[in-house]
A and B are shown apart, each in its own frame.
Chain A
Amino acid sequence: MKKILLAPLDPVHDNAVKLIQRRLREAGYHTECMPPGTNEEEAIGKALEICPDVILVSRTLGYQSAEILGRFVDLADAAGLRDKTRLGVGGMALTKEAGAELGFDAIFPGDLDMNALLAFIENRPASGDSARVRVGTNLKPDITAGYSYKFIDTRIEPILDSITAQILDWVKDKSSGGIERAEIRSQAIQENVDFLQAGTGKGKALRDRYLALCDSEIQAFYRDGRLLAGVRKVSGDEIEVLPRLLKADDQFYRTLRLNGSKPLFFVQYGTGCPVMDIMHIKISEAWGADGVLHFDPSWGAQHEGLMSGLLTHEHDGTIVTLENLKLIKRFLSLRTVWNIRGHRGLNTPETLVLGAEAGADLFKINIPYGSTGGGTDPARLTVDGVYSIMLASQYGIPFDIPGNDELSGVPPHKTFAGLLIMMALALKLGAKPIPKPLMCFSPYMQISGEMDENSIDMNAAKLNIWREFIDTPVWPGEPVGFMTHTPDRVQSAVSTAAYASLAASLGVDAITMASSDEAYAKGPITAQARVDTLRGVREMMRFTGNSGYTATPRSLRIQSRLHEDIISVLQAVEKRGDFVASIYEGLLGNSEDGLYPGRAGRGTVVTRQA
């Protein structure tokens, strides 16, 4: 057992020394700790008495630090201690350079890093600081693992069974250009056909079939090399430099979790440029993000067809191409969970095909949300969405269901009814769904005043209610605290951290968080804004630790009312007997709520040939 002597060469400050002593004792070391105000001679005298392997001295005050610490080293030399004893020093007043000049064997400036300290005691190289975790090769978590997906509320199961049976019966003879393109793209991948090179033969025939199903801008891209406005190709030079730039150690990361393995923390990216995205992802990973979500440009959802190649884009959202996705995947940490969204556009099935090929871990699909507001026509997205769920099932890739229609003003009971329909549909098709109730200060809440007293009761109810319905993972999003953020970085990071803390304490499985630029609309999200929030969340996780929130009587009342309201919505959809008509007619959110059916792709559903 190694013997450690701890000596605070400081008149008052010995908190760090006491902390180190406790940690070293817990780690099995024999320690002797001297009181604050110990002078150099007393420390050396004690060392001669007990013959420690290591002496750790500390000095917080800057006044006369160099003189005192220098004299301590000189005395240790003169006493012949240094043949068998190594000297370490720590303290806020210290720099590495100054400590080395004084002759110490190791210097620990600033915050306590136990990992580095233990490495010094054991005379081995440090392997990252103690807040960092070693990345294994098989540590990518499965959010759905351990959940049975059994319905707990037996009242809703037959209702959902009836609704989903109607949906599946309705789509069984229908198709769309989006589905056909996904099938062609899948074939192209299997046959190694590159649409950018397919000038002749079978490849050209396949590409021509594909282009016949695309908008004119996409056709012009492939036929004439014409890029959409604001789009350019990424140069080879940019790609070549990235591996050298990112050669830094990727084996460790700074976890945001201090207790247990949940929740996973996700951030969204989509700067427009895959190279910039990679930098933002690497920064997020380094500051503790467990997963990332790919966001594509909003126009990508409204064009029939997807481009190919390495493409960058001047505005928000990074273009979905197989090459862009593969480039990003190449630089993801082995532990990073990767979600590619495809929930609301005309290219939803094809996005899943490309995502699976590129190595996605998760998808995002929600028919009711995606077919409202600025999204896709409900009939079209129901056909494409069901096909996409089948693809996700075939690939064995879970998908999440964002409840972001609340942002349009839809009350949570209508949004949640839509999430439950999607859950039941997925389970019927053998997929693994993850509901994403939105933690937010939505227009409905602002108008109704239901969150005037506090932000906890309603949001806790919105998370806890899932445990009453079904044994499922829960992933609040997207991002948490939506519509609470302002352009003030402190307010924004604090708000996200508070929502994340609430969600974590209620046992959720994952959390999506914004950057502190969430409410800044005049430019791209910056790297420092990502760090702001990740740093804030880490601090809040430390503050909350293993304590937690308990549902108040008011929160339980909200939960109970929400439960009954959700069942009422589901009963109305079942009674209507037509899921698509239910969306058109506003049963899951109407114009009074602020919602209207999506228009993209209207009239494009076709009947499959028998």
Chain B
Amino acid sequence: MGKATDHVLDAIDIETFLICNSAEEGRKLAERLLVEMNLPRGDVVFLEHSGPGARVRLRAYIHHPGDHYLWLEDGGK
């Protein structure tokens, strides 16, 4: 089967809720979370702050269109 990340078609999305005081703080935390999780080419797709924190969707592209796709190697076998 190989590594699970090799099987990701294009991107990993992470949905979470971050406790924070503002959208700005939430964004900083979200970006830090991507680094802490060691996810490449990360981005904050969506962030909405309300009440005690922010609803967040983070994304890291594992395979960008035009890349060499690792799922082709494993999937074809």
Pair A528/B72 contact, Cβ less than 8 Å: no
Pair B66/A526 contact, Cβ less than 8 Å: no
Closest CB in chain A relative to B24 CB, distance in Å: 17
User: Cβ of B64 < 8 Å from any Cβ of A?
Assistant: yes
Pair B46/A489 contact, Cβ less than 8 Å: yes
> CA–CA, A36 to B59, complex, Å?
46
> CA–CA, A523 to B13, complex, Å?
12
> CA–CA, A341 to B47, complex, Å?
34
Pair A527/B76 contact, Cβ less than 8 Å: no
Pair A241/B73 contact, Cβ less than 8 Å: yes
Closest CB in chain A relative to B44 CB, distance in Å: 9
User: Cβ of B31 < 8 Å from any Cβ of A?
Assistant: no
Q: From B46, B72, B75, give the contact of A487 (CB < 8 A).
A: B46
User: Cβ of A244 < 8 Å from any Cβ of B?
Assistant: yes
Pair A524/B10 contact, Cβ less than 8 Å: yes
Interface string of B14-44 (1 = CB under 8 A from A): 0000000000000000000000000001010
Q: A245-B76, A313-B66 are in contact. Are A523 and B61 (CB under 8 A)?
A: yes
> CA–CA, A488 to B61, complex, Å?
18
Residues in B lying within 8 Å of A, measured CB to CB: 9-11, 13, 41, 43, 45-46, 48, 55, 57, 59, 61, 63-66, 69, 71-73, 75-77
Closest CB in chain A relative to B30 CB, distance in Å: 13
User: Cβ of A249 < 8 Å from any Cβ of B?
Assistant: no
Chain B residues with CB under 8 Å of A526's CB are 9-11, 13, 59
Q: A488-B57, A523-B11 are in contact. Are A245 and B66 (CB under 8 A)?
A: no
Q: A487-B46, A488-B48, A488-B57 are in contact. Are A527 and B9 (CB under 8 A)?
A: yes
Pair A272/B66 contact, Cβ less than 8 Å: yes
A-B contact pairs, 29 of them (CB 8 A): A232-B66, A240-B76, A242-B72, A244-B77, A245-B71, A273-B65, A273-B66, A275-B69, A275-B72, A276-B9, A276-B10, A276-B63, A283-B9, A314-B64, A314-B65, A314-B66, A486-B46, A487-B57, A488-B48, A488-B55, A523-B41, A523-B43, A523-B61, A524-B10, A524-B11, A524-B61, A526-B9, A528-B11, A528-B13
User: Cβ of A336 < 8 Å from any Cβ of B?
Assistant: no
> CA–CA, A245 to B41, complex, Å?
26
> CA–CA, A524 to B73, complex, Å?
22
User: Cβ of A312 < 8 Å from any Cβ of B?
Assistant: yes
In terms of DSSP, what is the predominant structure of the interface of chain B? Answer: mixed
Nearest to B9 among chain A residues (CB) is A527
Pair A520/B45 contact, Cβ less than 8 Å: yes
Interface string of A240-283 (1 = CB under 8 A from B): 11101100000000000000000000000001110110010001
> CA–CA, A11 to B46, complex, Å?
44
Pair A244/B76 contact, Cβ less than 8 Å: yes
Pair B66/A238 contact, Cβ less than 8 Å: no
A-B contact count (CB 8 A): 77
Residues in A lying within 8 Å of B, measured CB to CB: 230, 232, 237-238, 240-242, 244-245, 271-273, 275-276, 279, 283, 312-314, 486-489, 517, 520, 522-524, 526-528
Chain A residues with CB under 8 Å of B75's CB are 241, 244-245
Pair A245/B72 contact, Cβ less than 8 Å: yes
Chain B residues with CB under 8 Å of A237's CB are 72
Pair B76/A276 contact, Cβ less than 8 Å: no
Chain B residues with CB under 8 Å of A528's CB are 11, 13
Besides A240-B76, A276-B9, A313-B66, 9 other CB < 8 A contacts?
Answer: A244-B75, A273-B65, A276-B65, A276-B69, A283-B9, A314-B65, A488-B46, A489-B57, A526-B10
Closest CB in chain B relative to A222 CB, distance in Å: 22
> CA–CA, A272 to B67, complex, Å?
11
Nearest to A283 among chain B residues (CB) is B9
Q: A279-B9, A489-B57 are in contact. Are A524 and B76 (CB under 8 A)?
A: no
Chain B residues with CB under 8 Å of A314's CB are 64-66
Chain B residues with CB under 8 Å of A271's CB are 65
> CA–CA, A488 to B15, complex, Å?
11
Chain A residues with CB under 8 Å of B73's CB are 241
Q: A238-B69, A273-B66 are in contact. Are A523 and B59 (CB under 8 A)?
A: yes
Nearest to A240 among chain B residues (CB) is B76
Chain A residues with CB under 8 Å of B69's CB are 238, 275-276
Q: From B45, B57, B61, B72, give the contact of A238 (CB < 8 A).
A: B72
> CA–CA, A276 to B67, complex, Å?
9
> CA–CA, A418 to B11, complex, Å?
40
> CA–CA, A237 to B75, complex, Å?
13
Q: From B46, B61, B65, B72, give the contact of A312 (CB < 8 A).
A: B65
Q: From B41, B55, B65, give the contact of A272 (CB < 8 A).
A: B65
> CA–CA, A517 to B48, complex, Å?
16
Q: From A241, A272, A273, A517, give the contact of B76 (CB < 8 A).
A: A241
Closest CB in chain A relative to B23 CB, distance in Å: 13
> CA–CA, A526 to B58, complex, Å?
13
> CA–CA, A273 to B9, complex, Å?
13
9 interchain residue pairs of minimum CB distance: A241-B76, A273-B65, A271-B65, A487-B46, A245-B75, A272-B65, A276-B65, A244-B76, A312-B66
> CA–CA, A232 to B71, complex, Å?
19
> CA–CA, A182 to B56, complex, Å?
49
Chain A residues with CB under 8 Å of B63's CB are 276
Closest CB in chain A relative to B62 CB, distance in Å: 10
Closest CB in chain B relative to A248 CB, distance in Å: 11
Closest CB in chain A relative to B48 CB, distance in Å: 7
> CA–CA, A524 to B65, complex, Å?
8
> CA–CA, A94 to B77, complex, Å?
32
Q: A244-B76, A245-B76 are in contact. Are A524 and B46 (CB under 8 A)?
A: no
Max chain B Cβ within 10 angstroms of own Cβ: one of A279, A283, A312, A522:
A279
Chain B residues with CB under 8 Å of A523's CB are 11, 41, 43, 59, 61, 64
